Structure 1
Amino acid sequence: MAAPQVARLISRRTHALPGQLHVTELFFEVPENYARPEAGTLRLFGRKVTKHDRPIVPLSDSNAAEKEKLPYLVYLEGGPGFGNRAPQNHALTQVALNRGYQMLFLDYRGTGLSTPIHADSVLARGGPQQQAEYLRLFRANNIVRDLEAVRLCLTEGLDADKQAWSIFGQSFGGFVSLTYLSKCPRSLREVYLTGGLAPIKRTAEEVYAATYKKVIERNAAYYQKYPEDIPTVRRLAEYIQASKDGAISLPSGGKLTVQLFLTLGIAFGVHGGLDVVHSLVLQLATDLDHFNHFTPASLAAIESQIPFNTHPIYGILHEAIYSTKQMGAPAPNWAAHRVGKTLQPFSWLANPATLLESNAASEPLYFSGEMIYPFHFDGTAGPELARMREAAELLAANEVWDDDLYDEEQLRRNEVPVYAVSYVDDMFVDFEMARETARLVKGIKVHETNGWYHDAVRSKSDEVFSTLFKLRDDCID
C-alpha cells in the first residue's frame, strides 16, 4: 500500500448524551481515489465517544487533555454498504469506555453520512464504464486507506506508542480488518473479530456453494418450527404470481415478485430470524383473509427486510468482496445465481414460472439467504438499483481488480494480537472457510461456538464481549 495520506478534519461538534457519553461528531476529507488524489475528494463521518464525567472537583486542563490521549477502539460495521448506529444504541460503547478506550464509529465511504452512494451520484460520473470505475473505489482496500488517513489525523502529535489503535470488525468489518492487518499491521494494537474471518482463499462461487448448504439447513429448521407455514408460504407465492405481471408494487417503487419474496430468508441467519419471517408470513396471510390483498403496512414491512434500495453498495459490491487480484479468480459473474439455480430447492432462480407447478401443497418453498441476484437490478428491489444496473453488470463481469485485499505472507508472520469469535452455524460466513483463514493468521485466538448466530454481537452482546475480552486478558492454561 502506498504511503498513507492524512485526512483533513473539516469540522467537529461535541455534545453530552444520556448514559454519560461525550460524543464528538467529526467530518473528514479524503481523496476519492488515492492513486489520483487530484481527482477529487470524499467526506467521511465519524463519532468519537469518551466518558462524560462530572467530577466533584473540575478537571484541570492537563487532566482533561489526557482523555484525548486514551487508546482508540474503532468499530467496523458489517455489510458492505451500511453506516453505523448511534453510539448510545451500540452495546460495545459502554463496554469499551469502561475498559479504558475511547470509541470511534466511522462510516465507511459511501455509507451513512460519509458521501453516501445513490443513483444520482453514480450516474453523474458518465456512462456505465465510468460508473463502474467509480464504484470500484468503495471496496475494502480504500476503506483501509481511509482508516489510515483518519488515524494519522486523530493521533497527530501523540507519543509513538499511542498512535496505533485497536479495531473491532463485525462480519464484513472483519473482512476489512483482515485487509488492514495485511496492509498496515504497525498501525494496529489489537484486532477483534466477530463472524468476520473472511474466506480469503476462496472464490465467490466456492463461498456460495458452501453457504447454500447452511441456508437449506435453516429452511428445514424454519419449517420444522412452523410447519403450518408450508401451505401458507405457497399460498402467498401463488397470490403474488397471480397478480398483474406477477408482481405487486412496493411503497418505494420496487416490485414484490415471488423471487423477491423468497429472498426474505436472509433473516434466517440471525437470532430470532425464523420468528421474524413467520411473523411476516402470518401478517401477509392475515391481510389476504381480511382484505384479499396486502396492506401498505405489510408491504413496508417486507421492504424493511430487503433494504438494498437504500443501501445500494450491498447489492452492487456484495460479490466483489470475494474478488482479489492475487487470487486470479474468474469474474464473480453473479455467482450466487449461477450456483443456486443448479440446486433443486432454489430451482426458482432458473425458472420462477415452474415454482408453483407442483400440486403438492405439502412441499415447502425454500427461501434464499444472503445472496444478490440479477433480478435485484431489474426494478424488483427498487428504482435505485435499477438505475445502476449497467454498472453492476460490468462489475459482475470484471476479472481484473486493482489491488489485493489480503497479503497471505503478512498474515502468516503476523505479530498483532487477534481475538475472534467464529460461529459453527453461521449462514453468512462458512465456518470451515473461517477455520481455514484462522489457521493462516499467526497468533490468532479463536472461540468457536454453535450456540450463537452471525449477529450475536448485537443479540448476545454481553456474552460475546465477555468471551472476546477473556481471550485477550486471560493467560494460557
Structure 2
Amino acid sequence: MIHRHSGLVFAGHTLAVPLNHADPDGPRIEIFAREVREAGVAAEGRPFLLYLQGGPGNRSPRDLPVWLRRAARDYRVVLLDQRGTGRSTPLTRQTLAGVEDQAGYLAHFRADSIVADAELLRAHLAGDRPWSVLGQSFGGFCAVSYLSFAPHGLREVIITGGLPGLTATAEDVYRAAYPRVLAHNERYFERYPEDEAIARRVVDALRDQDARLPAGDRLTPRRFQTLGIHLGSNARFDSLHHLLEEAFAGDDLSELFLRRVDAAVSFVEQPLFAVLHEAIYGQGAATGWAAHRVRDEFPAFDLDAGGPVRFTGEMIYPWLFEEDPALVPLAGAAARLATKADWAPLYDLDRLAANEVPVAAAVYFDDMYVDRDMSLATARHIRNVRPWVTNEYAHDGLGRDERVLDRLLTMVKD
C-alpha cells in the first residue's frame, strides 16, 4: 500500500523472520517497515537509510519529525517497527497471554535479534547493497551491535545519543545514571521553585488518600515519583510542571491530574520498555533489578527521609509489575529475565576496534539517559568514529533540529 503526504511517499513492507535467528526453521514472526521518499524523485537512484529508534519497545515514528524531511532529500528512508512494536508482531499483555514460556520468548527481542531482522530486511529491499543506518538512543546501541555482527551490511552509521558502554553492567549504568537524574531535578526546580512544595503536597496526599487512576489502579507516592522519566527531553521537560500546576481541586487531587498522570506513568503502550529495559545491558551475567538495588546508594530519592521530593528517571523497578495493570501479567517473565545469567554478548570488541565503516556520533554533554563518559570511551574504542560532543541539545536533539542530522551527515561523509 502506497500513501502520499506532505510531499513524501510512504510504502509499507512486511517480512516474515525467525523468532530465534539461531533456529531459522523454528517459529516465525513478522516485521513491518515504512519506506519514505520524496515525491517526484526516482527511488532507484537513492541509497537506503535505516532508522533505528529509541526504546526498547518504541515503534517507529508516525509523525513527520524534522530529521525525516532532511534525510529524505538524500535517501530512501526505512522506518522499521522493531520486533515486538507497532505492526511488527506487537508484544503486549494480550498478545503474550497465549505464550507458555514468556521469558524465553522475550529474550529474543534485544539488539542482536533486531540487527538480524534488519539484515533480512536489507536483503529484501536492497539485495546485496549495503545501506546507511541512523540510530537514536537505544537505536544507537543497535547500530553498534550492527557494527559488531554485520558490518558488511553497512555503508555508513550515524548515532545520536546512543553510544553504549561496551562492557558496562546494568549496575554500572544505573550507578552513573542516578547522579545525572538528580542534576536534572535541580535544573527543573531552579526553573519552577514553587513545584517543590506542590510535589511534597502530592506525596503527602497520596499517602492519606486512596487516589485511583482511570483504570482503577492506585497511584502510590513511588509511582508518582517516576514522572521524572521525561526530564532529559527538551520537548517534555516542562510537562511535569504542567501536571503539577493543576494537581489539586481544593484539598483533593484533581481528576484532570490523575488522568494526565495515568497517561504518563502507564506502560500500556510500551510494555517491552519495562520488561526489557535492564536486559539491553545483559552480557554474560544477570542484571538482577540493578536500578532497584543501586537506588539505596542515593538517599536523595528516599521519600520517607523528609527531604524534598526528587523524581526518578529511566529506571524500572520490580514493584512496577505489581502496580501497573499493563505490567502485572508480565511480572513472572520480568522476574525470570532479571535472573537470566546466560545473555549473549551484544558487542564484538575486537571487530569494533578494527571497524572500517564510517561512523559519526553526537554525544550530548548533559544527556540524562546515556552516560557521556561511557559514550566517549566507546568512541575511542571503535575505529573510524568521529564524535561530536555538544551541550547545545538534550537527548532528543535529533527530533528538535534538522541541523543535528545535517552536521552528522557532513561528518560521516568527510
Asked if these proteins are the same fold (TM beyond 0.5), I'd say yes
Summarize deviations over 1:143-168 as a string: whole Å, max 9, x none.
01100011111123xxx5xx100000
Shift of 1:272: 4.6
Q: Does 1:84 align with 2:60?
A: yes
Task: Spell out, residue by residue over 1:335-385, the C-alpha distance to the aligned partner (whole angstroms, 9 max, x if none).
Answer: 00101122111224xxxxx35xx3xxxx4211001100011100x22x221
Percent of paired sites with the same residue: 37
CA distance in 2, matches of 1:26, 1:122: 24
Within a 5 Å distance, the mapping from 1:158-169 to structure 2 comes to 163-169=129-135
- d(CA) in 2 for partners of 1:41, 1:311: 22
Instruction: Name the structure 1 match of 2:174.
Output: 208
Name the structure 1 match of 2:241: 278
Superposed displacement of residue 411, structure 1: 0.4
Distance 2:266 2:200 in 1: 24
* Displacement of 1:398: 1.1
Letter in 2 for 1:67: A
CA distance in 1, matches of 2:33, 2:266: 22
> Conserved in 2, the CA contact under 8 Å of 1:27 and 1:44?
yes
1:110 maps to what in 2?
Answer: 84
Of the three residues 15, 20, 24, the one matched with 1:37 is: 24
1:423 pairs, out of 353, 358, 364, with 364
The structure 1 residue matched to 2:72, chosen from 88, 97, 109, is 97
- C-alpha contact (below 8 Å) 2:60/2:80 kept by paired residues: yes
CA contact (8 A) 2:228 2:311 kept: yes
2:265 matched to which residue of 1?
306
Superposed displacement of residue 427, structure 1 = 0.7
For 2:114, the equivalent position in structure 1 comes to 143
Decide which of 351, 356, 364 is 2:308's aligned counterpart. Answer: 364
- C-alpha contact 1:144 1:179 (8 A) present in aligned 2: yes
Q: Following the alignment from structure 1 to structure 2, what is the Cα–Cα distance between the partners of residues 320 and 14?
A: 36
Q: Deviations over 1:282-326 (max 9, x none)?
A: 121xx333x72321x32232133234222111000000111113x
**Aligned: 1:384 with 2:372:** no
**Counterparts of 2:378 and 2:245, CA distance in 1:** 40
Does the residue aligned with 1:179 lie in a helix, a strand or coil?
helix
The structure with the largest helix share of the pair is 1
Q: How many residues align?
A: 414
Please state whether the residue corresponding to 2:15 is helix, strand or coil: strand
Q: Give 1 or 2 for the bigger CA radius of gyration.
A: 1
**Residue among 193, 196, 212 paired with 1:230:** 196
Q: Which amino acid aligns with 2:2?
A: T
- 1:319 is matched with which residue? 278
Does the 8 A contact of 2:202 with 2:253 survive in 1? no
Supply the distance in 2 between the matched residues of 1:253 and 1:41 (Cα, whole angstroms).
36
Please name the residue that 1:56 is paired with: none
Aligned to 1:436: 377
Query: Structure 1, residues 86-120: CA drift from partner, whole Å, max 9, x if none?
Result: 2x512222211212x11100100000111100113
Asked if structure 1 preserves the Cα contact closer than 8 Å seen for 2:156 and 2:412, the reply is no
Q: Secondary structure at the match of 1:308?
A: coil
- Counterpart of 1:332 (choices 287, 305, 312) is 287
The answer as to 2:253 corresponding to 1:293 is yes
Say whether the 8 Å CA contact 1:200–1:322 is kept in structure 2. Answer: no
Deviations 1:153-196 (A, max 9, x none): 1123xxx5xx1000000000000000011000010000000000
Secondary structure (helix, strand or coil) at the match of 2:297 reads: coil
Report runs of 4+ in structure 1 exceeding 6 Å deviation: none
Task: Report the Cα offset of residue 50 of structure 1.
Answer: 1.6
Determine helix, strand or coil for the equivalent of 2:135: strand
Structure 1: gaps spanning 5 or more residues: 1-12, 54-63, 349-353
Q: Mapping of 1:345-364 within 5 angstroms?
A: 345-348=300-303, 354-355=304-305, 358=306, 363-364=307-308
Letter in 1 for 2:252: N
User: Shift in Å at residue 467 of structure 1?
Assistant: 2.0
SS at match of 2:267: helix
Report if the CA contact (8 A) 2:157-2:412 is conserved: no
Conservation of the 8 A alpha-carbon contact between 1:123 and 1:388: no
- Higher mean C-alpha deviation, range 74-83 or range 30-39: 30-39
Instruction: Determine the C-alpha separation between the residues in 1 that align with 2:279 and 2:370.
Output: 15
Hey, what's the Cα distance between the residues in 2 that align with 1:274 and 1:69? 41
Q: Is the 8 A contact 2:321 2:331 kept in 1?
A: yes
Task: Supply the AA of the counterpart residue of 1:337.
Answer: H
Do the aligned residues in 1 keep the contact of 2:230 with 2:313 (CA within 8 Å)?
yes
d(CA) in 2 for partners of 1:387, 1:421: 38
Distance 1:371 1:422 in 2: 21
| AA partner of residue 86 (structure 2) | G
User: Unaligned regions of 5+ residues in structure 2, if any?
Assistant: none
Question: Displacement of 1:39 after TM fit?
Answer: 2.7
Distance 1:27 1:254, change over 3 A: farther
- C-alpha change, 1:152 and 1:274, in structure 2 (3 Å) is closer
Q: What's the offset of the Cα at 1:253?
A: 4.4
Query: For residue 258 of structure 1, what is the aligned residue in structure 2?
Result: 221
- Find the aligned partners of 2:258 and 2:33 in 1 and give their Cα distance: 33
Q: Do 1:428 and 1:454's aligned partners in 2 also have CA atoms closer than 8 Å?
A: yes
TM score, norm. by length of structure 1: 0.84
Structure 1 counterpart of 2:338: 396
Alignment RMSD (CA, Å): 1.6
Q: Is the 1:182–1:408 contact (alpha carbons within 8 Å) kept by the matching residues of 2?
A: yes
Q: Tell me if structure 2 keeps the 8 A contact 1:332–1:397.
A: yes
Q: Say whether 1:24 aligns with 2:11.
A: yes
Q: Which residue of 2 aligns with 1:46?
A: 33
Matched letter for residue 467 of structure 1: R
Give the Cα separation in 2 of the matches to 1:145 and 1:255: 41
* Structure 2 partner of 1:70: 46
Letter in 2 for 1:377: F
Cα distance in 2 between the residues matched to 1:342 and 1:238? 24
